[in-house]
């Protein structure tokens, strides 16, 4: 499965967060698209509308398990997708910003 490290991500890379609503509300990466894994198939069209046409989709969850499942699905659909290894836990550990919907500092649940 295609995988990247949090440290490989650059500002402006397209990020898909597949954690559940309570996790998202506690804190997330600014600018990420949120589609919970539990709603993913039903809301797939939101991803195809938002994702860059010729760009890569970086899929993230808390630690990497759920995002790996979504990454495999996307790759099967012909989308250039990669799993973000270590997920939001590693995102926060590396000092990357975690925010709430109102832009205040958040945390990884």
Closest C-alpha among 53, 56, 65, 58 to residue 20: 65
Distance, in Å, from the CA atom of 109 to the CA atom of 14, rounded to the nearest integer, reads 22
Which residues belong to the active site? 61
Chain mean position to CA 82:
10
Q: Which residue has the tokens 């890569």?
A: 56
Distance, in Å, from the CA atom of 70 to the CA atom of 6, rounded to the nearest integer, reads 17
């Amino acid at each position: 499965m295609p995988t990247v490290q949090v440290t490989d991500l650059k500002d402006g890379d397209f990020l898909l967060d597949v954690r559940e609503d309570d996790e998202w509300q506690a804190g997330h990466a600014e600018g990420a698209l949120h589609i919970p894994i539990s709603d993913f198939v039903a809301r797939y069209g939101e991803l195809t509308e938002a994702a860059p046409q010729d760009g890569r989709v970086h899929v993230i969850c808390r630690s990497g398990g759920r995002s790996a499942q979504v990454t495999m699905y996307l790759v099967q659909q012909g989308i250039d997708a990669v799993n973000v290894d270590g997920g939001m836990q590693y995102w926060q550990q590396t000092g990357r910003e975690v925010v709430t919907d109102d832009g205040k500092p958040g945390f990884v649940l």
